[in-house]
Chain A
Amino acid sequence: MKKIFRFIIERYLKLLTKIIIYRKKPLIVAIAGSSNKTFIKDRILEEMKNENGVRGNPRSFNTEIGLPLAVLFLPSGYSSIFKWADVLLAGSYISIFKKDFPKILVLEMGISKKGDMKYLLSIIKPFIAIISDIGQNFSDNKNVIDQEMANLVGSIPKEGRVILNADHSRVRDLQKKSKAPVILYGKTKKAQIKITKIKEKNNGQSFNLKLNNNKKQIETELFGVHNVYALTAAKIAVNEIRKIKK
């Protein structure tokens, strides 16, 4: 019974999401990887906080049911049939009638098994993909995760962008699957956007980044190289979004 209930919700939300995306055609930035997705999304939203019409998904809303809820900007009904009835009703209104809708959606794509990415891509069509890293978890099945990430990269249209962390070889290798221009970032020489001079201090860290021929020192109160990557990926993504929007 629960499975049938879940199936109905999943399919109905998918339909509603496809309708609103067809109607409003937002530019979708999809972020995937084993970790660091939320940090990248948050940094993009921070960089674009003064621009109207940009929205991201709550952290846990990145799966089969969560992603449509994030697009429709609705809460979960959890295990209550009544709450779900409200959610689906509100979703129907948003999908069919709502006029205001974000022009840019920044969405995390959470996958855990084969076929997850294919399903998410049957709901949304990202224009920009960012892959942070692959393989911090014991439970990761190497071939499955790599294939799922390749599906995302391969789905980006040739006018879009694929932004990859070049310091992770499994991520870097995904460039072969892309039809769209690929931007590699990282500390490695193979990166087009290079991160240099990372310095840790008591109150955060700083690093140098060369973007659009401008070399900048970036300061952050956040610690850890993953935050350097997140800031870099976010700056590249925002730069590309602005170029595309021009």
Chain B
Amino acid sequence: MAEIILSPIKEMEIRTAKVSNSVSLAQGVADFDTPECIKKGAIEHINQGDVAKYSLSPGIVELREAIEIDLNKREIYYDFENEIIVTAGAIEAISATLLTILSPGDEVVIPDPTYTSYQEAIKNAGGVPSFMALSEEDEWSFDEKKMEKKITTKTRAILFCNPNNPTGTIYRSDQLLRILEIAEKNNLYILVDEVYRDFIYDNQEFYSIGKFSKFRKRIIYIFSFSKSYSMTGWRVGFLATDKSLAQKILARHDVLVTCAPVVSQWGALAALEMAEEDKLYFKNTFKDRRDLICSHLDNLKEWFNYQKPSSSYFVFPNFSKKLIQALNREKEIKKYNFQDHQKDSLSWQLALDLLYEAKVAVVPGQAFGKTGENHVRMCFGRSDGDILKAMLRIESYLNKKYKQGLFIKSKVYF
């Protein structure tokens, strides 16, 4: 079994917890509490004695019905009785699916950069991640020729999130169709995590892959309540796929968790039934925060280039030539306690510089794949105050430290 490393996002959060007075834009967590109506919905069921026992393994009937109804509104059609499984967040849905479809050594193509835990989930299921670089100059779009080259006799699936984390970009419907056609031609499954589907800005079009019902036997549609309803700690999500596969995944899901936390399932039901306004409020607030963080990035043009994200709550700036040169010069004297996979990574170097010297946590781009190197991910789900504080600290730190190509010697950290 391949070695699994702790997600760099979690590693940054652990490091951040030890740095006093730090501000974190690292983990994808919003600063909002779960909406009141969701908490009350869950409390009501706690008081009624509905949460002490396991639910049916695929989830409580009421929630699966509500999920089917919600999907129907999005023109996505699955049978709640046989094709929808409530899971302990999106990552359990992904893990249960990969454990079901992969044999040792099977490859899974993942567009790069992408959410950092996908590669570990693939390894955890005995598979091998195969990275396919997205094209930054073309708004992080995917190139079908590159993807086809990545397909080998061992390839079993393609896994990606749409909208994409960390770039905040959206796959167009024609791109999705092309991916599906490639999957059809090569007999592959497509796992799509739509955790950020509810945060689309500037009237951009979002087309869900679930609408391509012609390919439903290949698609595993995945969603988590974590982001849309500020429920990251509740650990609840779901997957939907054709029953021929769903019943096999259900057996894995049962082995992994028996059922998703029942109290969270009732919370998720309340979310679907009552939290529409809260979701809209979150979206509008994130849009304002995106504009806030981007206005500060505009002041840092000397150090970063970025594409304004049209969804999610992440921005993924890349390093300017000047910043790369400065970091390379300092690399020779810097001594962080790097693990093998972090060595020679400028994104790790800057992320740790920012954490220990500016007291701001961001995620090094390398965490999201090779193409993510020389970038950092910043989360604008945090409060306005945190974003402002973090960006002013970054601005002040970079401007002071690397003025006119000069730099101050850093401390040595172990």
Contact = CB atoms under 8 A, between A and B. Distances in A.
Interface of A: 34-36, 38-39, 42, 59-60, 78-79, 112-113, 136-139, 202-204, 221-227
A36 B53 CA distance: 23
B273 A138 contact: no
Nearest to B82: A224
Given A36-B65, A222-B79, A227-B79, 13 more contacts: A34-B61, A42-B69, A59-B273, A112-B48, A138-B54, A203-B213, A203-B214, A223-B77, A224-B79, A224-B82, A224-B83, A225-B81, A226-B79
Contacts of A35: 61-62, 65
13 contacts: A38-B69, A42-B69, A59-B66, A78-B36, A78-B37, A78-B40, A137-B56, A139-B50, A202-B213, A202-B216, A222-B72, A224-B83, A225-B81
B274 interface: yes
A79 B213 contact: no
Nearest to A112: B48
B41 to A, nearest CB: 9
Interface in B53-97: 53-56, 60-62, 65-66, 68-69, 72, 77-83
B112 to A, nearest CB: 31
B394 to A, nearest CB: 41
Interface in B274-313: 274
Contacts of A36: 65
Closest 3 CB pairs of A and B: A224-B79, A223-B79, A60-B273
A224 B66 contact: no
B40 A79 contact: yes
Contacts, number: 63
Interface of B: 36-37, 40, 48, 50, 53-56, 60-62, 65-66, 68-69, 72, 77-83, 213-214, 216-217, 273-274
Contact of A137 (B61, B66, B78, B217): B61
A207 to B, nearest CB: 14
A224 B273 CA distance: 22
Contacts of A225: 79, 81
Interface centre among A60, A79, A225, A227 (most CB of B within 10 A): A60
Contacts of A79: 36, 40
Contacts of B50: 139
A36 B274 CA distance: 19
A231 to B, nearest CB: 13
B81 A226 contact: yes
Contacts of A59: 66, 69, 273
A136 B53 CA distance: 15
Contact of A224 (B37, B55, B81, B274): B81
Nearest to A80: B36
A89 to B, nearest CB: 22
B81 A138 contact: no
A177 B65 CA distance: 29
B213 A224 contact: no
Contacts of B213: 202-204, 221
Contacts of B55: 138
Contact of A138 (B53, B83, B214, B216): B53
A36 B66 CA distance: 10
Contacts of A224: 68, 78-83
Contacts of A137: 56, 60-61
Contact of A223 (B48, B62, B83): B83
Contacts of A203: 213-214
A34 B56 CA distance: 14
Contacts of A136: 56, 61
Interface centre among B50, B54, B80, B216 (most CB of A within 10 A): B80
Contact of B214 (A112, A202, A222): A202
Contacts of B36: 78-79
Interface centre among B37, B60, B79, B216 (most CB of A within 10 A): B79
Nearest to A140: B61
A224 B83 CA distance: 9
Contacts of B66: 59
A38 B65 CA distance: 8
B56 A138 contact: yes
A35 B68 CA distance: 12
A137 B367 CA distance: 43
A221 B216 CA distance: 13
Contacts of A138: 53-56
Contacts of B62: 35
Contact of B77 (A78, A204, A226): A204
A221 B211 CA distance: 11
A40 to B, nearest CB: 11
